[in-house]
Amino acid sequence: EAQVTQNPRYLITVTGKKLTVTCSQNMNHEYMSWYRQDPGLGLRQIYYSMNVEVTDKGDVPEGYKVSRKEKRNFPLILESPSPNQTSLYFCASRLDRLNTEAFFGQGTRLTVV
């Protein structure tokens, strides 16, 4: 089954404790992205990657890091989480061509206290 898998689904952590949210896709897609979703703001892109070892900042990259060492995996790293990073996070993948469908993971609800 074609899918994007994120883990964990829920995470509560304390300020400053490094964490990683994993994302994996099995569709051989070149393009992967991370978004955060906050009420009234829709989905805002954090980082994206057009292929292995190619990553770039989205609209809200501050406080986040990513890596793309393999085509299927695109982890999101928060080196020192802060309460304003409490949000719902989505990983997405798609073929690197115009007009293609984005496939989303089920989301990770992160709370930083």
- The residue ranges that bind another protein (CB under 8 A) are 4, 31, 33, 35, 40-45, 48, 50, 56, 58-59, 90, 92, 94, 96, 98-99, 101-102, 104-107
- Residues 19 and 28: their CA atoms lie apart, in Å, by 26
CB of 103 to another protein, least distance (A): 8
Decide: helix, strand or coil at residue 94. strand
Phi-psi category of 27—alpha, beta or left, where left has phi over 0 and alpha has psi -120 to 50?
A: alpha
The residue among 84 and 106 lying less far from another protein, judged by its C-beta, is 106
Shortest distance (Å) from residue 11 CB to another protein: 15
Backbone φ/ψ region at 49: left (φ over 0), alpha (ψ -120 to 50), beta: beta
CB of 56 to another protein, least distance (A): 7
